[in-house]
A and B are shown apart, each in its own frame.
Chain A
Amino acid sequence: MVRRGRRPAAGTVGVMTPLLSARGLTMQYPGGVTPALDGVDLDIAAGESVAIMGASGSGKTTLLHCLAGILRPTAGSVTFASGQGLVRVESLDDAARSRLRREELGFVFQQGLLLDELTALENVAVARMLGGVPRGQAEAEAAQWLQYLGLAGLEQRRLGELSGGQAQRVAIARAQVTGARLIFADEPTGALDSATSVEVLDLLLSATAQGRTLVVVTHDADVARRCARTVVLRDGRVVSDTAAPAATSGTAAPAAEVSR
């Protein structure tokens, strides 16, 4: 077994214990002529940062949705090593997949998936409150994460009062506050300028230094270059899967997260 956080050598794909494993993943949308995914096999180890690249329509977002249990694949399997043991994601019902996403996975999408009417603090705290944590404690943990991500003093701002980069930091805080072991990011820097993109990507990659796993869907080669591994899709198939050195940095994360 490979230690969490270890990066594979350049040019090879690491042989780590898979945190997430897809086999023969096929997705055919109703009315679609060709499958969006066509027999994808993929292993993602704990602590990895994986970029999924491909042209528009190559199936990269569909792959992310199937891996995260948002979509149920037409065929194939997705196995996730959850805190309670191995879980076959595609065989779970809607409620169980929702619980899995809520408790074990984190999401940072292009639009952030944040609620406009809530403050930055509430947006992060809600993720913990959904898990039954009392509001006071949830907000205290949320405040620690916002401070860690450089948003101290902006806790009571609503989404409309934050810049795009700040909103993405709130999304990153929310993705991590639950102690999620696996973070999915779909074009997380797509709506940001280049300087802010670098900052946001730094923060996302720092999560892997804390033992988390990161899967990023991107069309941006700069983003992919900074990940430890790049998987390229074309017409729903994996056409290359290569590892590359990546430079990640990490500062001390809030204690509540590290303990998980």
Chain B
Amino acid sequence: MTATAPAPAPTTVPGARPTGALATAVHLAPLFRRRRDGDRLATALPVASFAVVTALLLVVLGGAQAFFGWDDELASTYETLAVIAVVLLLVPLATVGASAARLAARRRDERLASLRLLGATTGTITALTVLEAAVTALAGAVLGVMLYAVLAPLVGLLHFRGEALGAQMWVPWWWLPLAVLGVALLAAASAVVGLRAVVVTPLGVRTRQKAGTAHWVRVVIAVGVLVVGLGLMQVLGVLGEMGGIVAIVGTLAAIFGGMLLALDALGPWFVRVRARRQARKAQTVPRLLAARMVLEDPKAAWRQVSGVAMTSFVGVFGAVGLAMADMTSTEGMDPDERWLMQDVSTGVLVTVAVSFLMVACSVGINQAASTLDRAAVHVSLDRLGVPREVMSEAARRAVMSALWMVAGGSALCAAVLLFPLVGMAIFVQPVAIVTALAVFALGFLSVRGAAALSARLVPGILARPERAL
């Protein structure tokens, strides 16, 4: 009997010449489009977030361009305010993009790490992830255009200068593809920034460790800026007499900008101090875990919700403005001036609401990414018998306590600046203040809802624990 000779081993044919990172990523991308079980929510969240963001962006742009259609003497004031509103919303929009990129990287971690093991370059991994984020954003943005078509008639019911915006809410048709493209490009750019926070190695994907400290010097700077701002407010009249309206507007802009910088300097430090106190006093496991999660990186906790800081700050101005508009005797004013006071407040409240919705999107996907980051921890806690509600509550508390800090702290700073007016508004025009508070409450509820939604990833993780460990 003769032994059968083994079949000859396949020979390796030299491959084609090496291609660039982008070309390789484009070739690999279709393979990565295949969905896995339990991956749907992680896919749907960024798409839904980009849809909401695009729709809101178009709504705000629609409202803004309506103001550009006017050509009387107050038109430039309205146009300036509209531009400010759009600029205020760009910060939360950019954070949504970065969050989506982080989620895209985390969702693909095993395969990205395998590719690195096979010799894929960092460039290929970056291109693949950025492509993923851009395609996700593109799909979300197209859905967002449809959502805009639904929202625009509703927002068109808002009155500016005594008339409903109505059909003025519709942007020119050629803005739509530009907006879709713009959102996709912004997502791609944010993805590059977001990827700096994760390290893809052949052994896995991990979040880059950063020093999670927030120094007390920040407080000194912030208090200094606040004192200078208060001082400038006191001499605003004198500056007006010396330099006219330009001096007043310039000073107000400096105060506004200074306050925002102060908030950004103060925020992480304040978040850390409060979380340390909460960790010390916590009597339940969710409270202890939430406080410790924030302490892991107070700057990141601040960043996640800082988009609300500016709008909360402006929101107090809006609420007080609304009250003042109702209180002020309008006998000496012409109709346009009366409408301007009312419209500024309406615009500010709309901006606050939109900003909260964008932060909700950002929180939703940030929390989803964080839940996937902590998949092994969730599996571990489950094995130890920790109830799932405890895990969800801890994650939700970590976000909401930072949000309370951010929104509350910003609103408090603004209230300090406008102290006498705020006090007067509360007593004389409570309805206006209640309106503003209702907008804030709805904003908090939307962020809380987004945080709760991402907690629904946990059952999927626990159903396939071997993927997490």
Q: Which residues in A have some Cβ–Cβ distance to B below 8 Å?
A: 68, 70, 95, 97-103, 105, 107, 109, 111, 113-118, 122, 126-127, 129-130, 134-135
Query: Which of A111, A127, A130 touches B390 (beta carbons < 8 Å)?
Result: A130
Q: Can you pick out 6 interface pairs between chain A and chain B where the beta carbons lie within 8 Å of each other? A: A102-B386, A111-B380, A113-B384, A116-B296, A118-B288, A129-B283
A98 in contact with B387 (CB, 8 Å): yes
Please pick, from A99, A100, A113, A134, the residue contacting B380 in the complex, using a CB distance under 8 A. A113
Q: Say how far B374's CB is from chain A's closest CB, in angstroms.
A: 9
Instruction: Tally chain B residues at the interface, Cβ within 8 Å.
Output: 23
Question: Whole-angstrom distance between the alpha carbons of A159 and B382 in the complex?
Answer: 19
Cβ contact within 8 Å between A126 and B285: yes
- List residues of B (331-389) whose CB comes within 8 Å of A's CBs: 376-377, 380-388
Cβ of B295 under 8 Å from chain A: yes
Contacts A98-B388, A117-B296, A130-B385 supplied; 7 other A-B pairs, CB < 8 Å: A98-B386, A99-B385, A111-B376, A113-B383, A115-B380, A129-B288, A130-B390
Question: What's the Cα separation between A105 and B385 when bound, in Å?
Answer: 9
**A111-B380, A117-B295, A130-B390 known; A103 and B385 CB under 8 Å?**
yes
CB closest chain-A residue, reference B283:
A135
Residues of the A chain whose Cβ atoms lie less than 8 Å from the Cβ of B469: 111
* Contact partners of B296 in chain A: CB under 8 A: 116-117
B396 at the interface (CB under 8 A from A): no
Instruction: Give the A-B pair count, Cβ closer than 8 A.
Output: 65
In the complex the two chains form, is B292's CB within 8 Å of A127's CB?
Answer: no
Tell me whether A115 and B385 are in contact in the complex, defined as CB-CB below 8 angstroms, given that A126-B285, A129-B284 are known contacts.
no
Q: What is the chain A residue whose CB lies nearest that of B292?
A: A117
Of A114, A116, A130, the contact of B386 (CB 8 Å cutoff): A130
Q: How far is the CB of A207 from chain B (nearest CB, A)?
A: 17
Partner among B283, B385, B387 whose Cβ is within 8 Å of the Cβ of A100:
B385
Q: Is the CB of A117 within 8 A of B293?
A: yes
B205 touches A (CB below 8 Å): no
Complex Cα spacing A6 to B384, Å = 28
Instruction: Let me know if B282 is at the binding interface, CB within 8 A.
Output: yes
Q: How far is the CA of A126 from the CA of B394 in the complex (A)?
A: 13
Q: Does B289 contact A (CB under 8 A)?
A: yes
- Taken together as a complex, chains A and B put the C-alpha atoms of A150 and B376 apart, in Å, by 28
- Cα distance A249–B380 when bound, in Å? 29
B 386-415 to A, binary, CB cutoff 8 A, 1 in contact else 0: 111010000000000000000000000000
State the CA gap A95–B386 with chains docked (Å).
9
* Cα–Cα, bound, A115→B387 (Å): 15
Closest approach, in angstroms, between the C-beta of A201 and any C-beta of chain B? 21
Let me know if A122 and B288 touch, CB within 8 A: yes
Smallest Cβ-Cβ distance to A129: which chain B residue: B285
**Chain A residues positioned under 8 Å from B282 (CB to CB):** 135
Considering residues B285, B295, B386, B390, which has the most beta carbons from chain A within 10 angstroms of its beta carbon? B285
CB-defined contacts of B383 to chain A, threshold 8 Å: 68, 70, 101, 107, 109, 113
Please tell me if the beta carbons of A101 and B384 are within 8 angstroms of each other in the complex. yes
Contact with A along B271-294 (1 / 0, CB 8 A): 000000000001111001100110
Which partner residue on chain B sits nearest A113 by CB separation? B380
CB contacts (< 8 Å) of B376 on chain A: these are 111
Nearest Cβ in chain B — how far from A84, in angstroms? Answer: 15
